[in-house]
Chains A and B, each alone.
Chain A
């Protein structure tokens, strides 16, 4: 794992002191709310419906056991004994007192954590593949590159006041688990014919009000030029991105308006200039220095085994939640934070401690947070899987639903969020309860259902195979359903089915869509495959005939 050097630690410690002073000045009246708001947002502190909310950065979703224990400790000491893992691989506390925030940040700093770059118009916390360093299909550990980008972008003077927030995601596997094509910049790391790393840079993807899929602007960028290319992209954006209209200020709008070819041309011009200056060239020794932090743990020499037992519940979990590891004898475990009828992404302090303990004992001290709001134990010996499952199950973390219809992404929605139009968690709970039957879920197969409480799309509804968007119609919550979105390497934006449904009708509507899928599917097809083959019409007809 990456460890802070003295500069990182100093910067974070200084920020704690600085923000503590700002909080004190706010509480004493030296700062007005108007003056304080941008300062608190720079430190991840929002004011939501019921209380302040503190968003803690978890760079590329990687945590040590010690860090996760600290997050649990903070939940216990300063909050209401739980926290919420977000689709940005971050963590949110929903009830901190303003006066306690300096102490929370000081506690976080002791484990090399902070809340910087989780808010405001800066380059946000870089996200990545939650199976990084473990999956058999990756060509390199994407966290090395995420960290290199983090170091370049953090406190970069030109990028602290961008036209809008800016999100970067990195993957190094052909299977895109980081949804890189719906980020402002998405990077796919490949190996070229000569087995050398090559970086494809996608620009202008995003969700929100105007969902767009990113375009490949930079192809096969060399490792040493990666930062120069990103800097060139940011310069073009900074120069032309609209600051006069927040709905048009994202880079996706710029790319959409001038076109991918023109964007490519402009970035190429800047790229030549940035490269000529030479300051951003990445020497191999620097790449190696960062890579050393992500060196593989000391895996034992083992052989793959068949971990199935006579326990059917364990075997089902094994099939659903355990993925192939790159090292024989090991496995990747997804810890579902989606208990049936539960709140997606919420974990109690006790549950966080259980996962931290398991990571320490059985996963080389590493935990991952996925953008799908689950946790991951990345390096578990296959022979330990049964014990791991037993302990997870005892803590309410053994739900065998990874990738299934009840593994729902849902943003906090109107239950917590100041910007929401409608609730989203309640809809997730109703659907999860309706489809609780394990056999039925498995019969449906992979289905990404994603729910947002407003058009900001924190719940990624645009890229759900089934997406649900909460809307407010004259004070009443309604839910608009989209079909056919996808956040993976075949990224697509979902299409709106038709008029929205009332809260109580949503589970029935989903049932109807599943019925159509069953009726139409060819052998081996997932919901998304069937949708892509037959189109929206059969779903639309049945749904609106039935309702």
Chain B
């Protein structure tokens, strides 16, 4: 299953995703998709380095559907914001 690397930004806890250009971005739509376990493994190394560089904390991979949506509710909510406050989180700006 394809995967995306996520973490929380150190300075404010914002949910971020690793993009193809190596930047940590706030939108899941811009996230790099890892298609194999080996790629995912390399992603985790990038995450560990970013933790050392004080960009992020707690990097991990999660599964997405072929359409690019998170499989688990937890990641759906992290990508958007609380389902009970549509005015808050990333969804607020959409």
Residues of A within 8 A of B (CB): 26-29, 33, 47-52, 80, 95, 97-99, 343, 414-416, 420, 422-423, 425-426, 429, 472, 475-477
Contact = CB atoms under 8 A, between A and B. Distances in A.
Contacts, number: 71
B13 A51 contact: yes
Secondary structure of the B contact surface, majority rule: loop
Contacts of A29: 54
A415 B11 contact: no
A52 B14 CA distance: 8
B72 A27 contact: no
A49 B14 contact: no
Given A99-B12, A475-B73, A27 B54 contact: yes
B77 A415 contact: yes
B73 A98 contact: no
Interface in B1-36: 8, 10-15
B84 interface: yes
A49 B11 contact: no
Contacts of B81: 50
Interface residues of B, number: 24
Given A50-B13, A97-B11, A80 B77 contact: no
A33 B57 CA distance: 7
Nearest to A410: B84
Contact of A415 (B15, B57, B84): B84
Contacts of B45: none
Contacts of B8: 47, 51
Contacts of A415: 77, 82-85
Nearest to B70: A475
B77 A414 contact: yes
B13 A52 contact: yes
Contacts of A50: 13-15, 78, 81-82, 89
12 contacts: A27-B10, A47-B8, A47-B57, A49-B77, A49-B78, A80-B88, A414-B73, A415-B83, A415-B84, A422-B73, A425-B84, A476-B73
Contact of A98 (B11, B51, B74, B85): B11
Given A33-B51, A47-B58, A475-B72, A429 B13 contact: no
Given A414-B73, A415-B84, 7 more contacts: A33-B58, A49-B77, A98-B13, A343-B85, A425-B84, A426-B84, A472-B73
B57 to A, nearest CB: 5
Given A29-B54, A47-B57, A51-B12, A475 B78 contact: no
Nearest to A49: B78
B49 interface: no
Residue of B51, B71, B83 with most chain A CB atoms under a 10 A cut-off: B83
Contact of B11 (A27, A48, A80): A27
B35 to A, nearest CB: 21
A343 B84 contact: yes
Contacts of A475: 71-73
Contacts of A26: 10
